[in-house]
Chains A and B, each alone.
Chain A
Amino acid sequence: MSISSAALQIPCARRALFPYDTAGSPRMPGDYTECVNPRGDQFRDGLTRACLYVASSFDMSEADSVVMCGKTPNIEALENFYASCRATPTAQGFAVATTSAGTTSLNIARGVRGGNLTVSVGNRATCTAMMLAKIYIHTRPGTAVYLVLPQDVDQGLQVAVLEVRCAIDGRWLMPALKDFDTNNHSDTPQTFVDEPAFLDELDSRLSALAPFVLGT
């Protein structure tokens, strides 16, 4: 069965670009603490913060799942703990210094219990993410999978979060990307830079992938 890209839709997609500061860490927008619980934030790495922020506008349910596909997992978290080992390492710091900190922090912060997966796949993240979403949805009927797609770009760390669901008739609802609502973040316009190339690439990859993912 081949379905044209025009027939595909996804309920929701959010993305944001977080420019690196001089220390090389992604800068968070001004309303970060309004969107993300600041408790324990000093132990989070930039990727985890970005995930929590971009995903904050989604209405996640307990049975849903989180899948992250990217070139590298939460390596910054590991490096932060390495650095702390030379001074005063803490159990709290070690607890979140894992390569899966981005997804598990979302699980814990949002009460998402369906599962989580953090996958390193180099440059094939988007296609792989859709395959994994299909597996998760088929093994967890009636739930949503939140795909987290981080990308390390010249301007900073870019994170897209896509909500993927299965339609009532069993057919997939696929992405029709919607821009992040930058109007809600007017105090930090420099933080959210339009990246049409990224969106175009994502759109074209997903469109090309659609017949494969939808299968027969």
Chain B
Amino acid sequence: MTSLVISGLGVITRSANDPGSLWRYLLAGEADFELWHGLLDCDKNPHVAARMRSSRIDQAAVFLSERDLLKPRHEISEMLSLYVCLSALEDAEIDWRNRDLSRCAVVIGNLEPNSRLYDASERREIPQPTNSHKYRMVSSYSMADAVSAAIGSNGPSLTIHNTCASGNNALEIGAGLIAEGIVDMAIIGGVDAFSDRIFSGFATLGVLGEQPCKPFSPHRKFVTIGDGGAAAVLQRSGDVSAQAPYARLVAVASNNDAKHPTNLHYDGVLACHQILWERSGHHPKEIGVVFAHGTGSIANDNVEGSIFTDHYPTAHIYAVKAQTGHLMGAAAAMGLVGSCLAMRTRKLPPNLYNKDEKFSFDLPITVSNLGDSRDLLVQNNAFGFGGINAIALLGAVT
């Protein structure tokens, strides 16, 4: 099989707007959150959130303006997609304005398209559509199409809606498109702008609160909703430009629990792991680091933590959502970016709530230095509503 590598990264969150600033923020053990008041009638209480500030979105606008790509009526998700994907190409030292990228696929994961348009409509800040089919005003595929148009791609441009696992599903499809010879490279990722609907929905589940999420802590209870985007450039190893790639894609696996619309099911999640082990040819004891899905909810962490306890006795478990919040459709892509940065720098950020509290599960204490072994394997977990599971495994570039 052709060796695929990740050669460039792009990211935007409340706390960072490029891989370097993200990694410094994470390694410093910071957590930048705020209290957010849901604007819908059902959710008047403030809860902790990781919503991007308008200044951060303005940075993306300036980035696009400098490249003559800013349109007067860009929807935020479309703008963020352009920002992270073009950033990833530039990080990979690919001159997207002059290079022929006609055979480059764009695959972007997303949970809710045009959420801020909907929020503005619900708040009556913009006129409500009179057409009974309001959704006709929405074109979620424009997220991927805008990127394709910008780089001159003729390859497939897909917006994938697989809830919070979308980014890893995008990686699976991007790798598949290259493996099938349909394209030569792929930009994959995930983007989700903050949504009052999502915020209110999680309130109905009783998982929002005044405390940030504490993944795998015995006191975990809440999920911290955030927004942002992350992307990666996937190429054949022989096609990479000057700089050294971040990581090698070892395998991706996905499946569906087919059990419950919201809660994970141990058997289904374990089955996804087993597919990954089979496809990669690696035993879980060989895997050194797992970027856990780690939402901090009772349900997620029970299943994921149990699998770690049962099958990953030596892996260091890290949950990025304690620092960035849950980026919904961008969550898996954020984990992928973190996994790549861990592979390149051989460092791992601290689990914030492991300082003063022990994990709720029998997990090894996370280390900050991962050593220089060429055999290091980093796993990125993502699970979503609807029983969707998707896991990626990265290795060192040899």
CA distance A104 to B158 in the complex (A): 19
Task: Evaluate contact between A113 and B110: CB separation under 8 angstroms.
Answer: no
Nearest-Cβ distance from residue B212 to partner chain A, whole angstroms: 21
In which size bucket is the chain B interface? 35 or more
Q: Of all chain A residues, which has the CB nearest B262?
A: A95
Q: Is the CB of A116 within 8 A of B139?
A: no
Question: By the criterion CB–CB under 8 Å, are A139 and B387 in contact?
Answer: no
Question: Which stretch from A72-80, A168-176, A183-191, A194-202 is at the chain B interface?
Answer: A72-80
Nearest CB in chain A: distance from B202 CB, A: 8
State whether the Cβ of B177 lies closer than 8 Å to any Cβ in chain A. Answer: yes
Q: Which of A24, A89, A96 has the most CB of B within 10 A?
A: A89
Point out the residue from A76, A105, A108, A110 that lies within 8 Å of B259, measured CB to CB.
Answer: A108
Contact with B along A78-111 (1 / 0, CB 8 A): 1101101111111101111111110111011011
> Does B386 contact A81, Cβ atoms closer than 8 Å?
no
B305–chain A nearest beta-carbon distance, Å: 22
Q: Out of A100, A131, A132, A135, which one reaches B163, CB within 8 Å? A: A100
Interface flag for B159 (CB, 8 Å): yes
What CA separation (Å) do A55 and B308 show in the bound complex? Answer: 37
Supposing A82-B197, A91-B205 touch, asked if A119 and B161 sit within 8 A by C-beta, the answer is yes
Residue B162 at the chain A interface, CB threshold 8 Å: yes
Cβ contact within 8 Å between A138 and B161:
no
Q: Is B360 an interface residue (CB 8 A)?
A: no
- CB-defined interface of A30-60 with B at 8 Å, one 1/0 digit per residue? 0000000000000000000000000000000
Report the bound CA distance from A72 to B113 in whole Å: 10
Cβ distance B207 to chain A, nearest Cβ, rounded Å: 10
Whether the pair B163, A94 counts as a contact (CB closer than 8 A) is no
Evaluate contact between B256 and A72: CB separation under 8 angstroms: no
Bound-complex Cα distance A60 to B197 (A): 34
B255→A113 contact, CB < 8 A: yes
Residues of B within 8 A of A131 (CB): 156, 177, 180, 182
Given A88-B42, A108-B387, A121-B157, CB of A115 within 8 Å of CB of B177? no
- Give the complex CA separation of A51 and B114 in angstroms: 24
The winner among A97, A117, A124, A138 for most chain B CB atoms within 10 A is: A117
A79 and B256: CB pair below 8 A?
no
Q: Is A72 a contact partner of B387 (Cβ separation < 8 A)? A: no
Q: Is A113 a contact of B201 with CB atoms below 8 Å?
A: no
Q: Decide if B40 is an interface residue (CB 8 Å cutoff).
A: yes
Q: Can you show 21 pairs from A to B with CB atoms below 8 A apart?
A: A24-B133, A71-B141, A78-B112, A82-B40, A85-B41, A85-B196, A85-B200, A88-B42, A89-B204, A91-B204, A94-B201, A98-B161, A99-B113, A101-B386, A107-B257, A112-B258, A113-B271, A116-B256, A119-B159, A120-B139, A122-B145
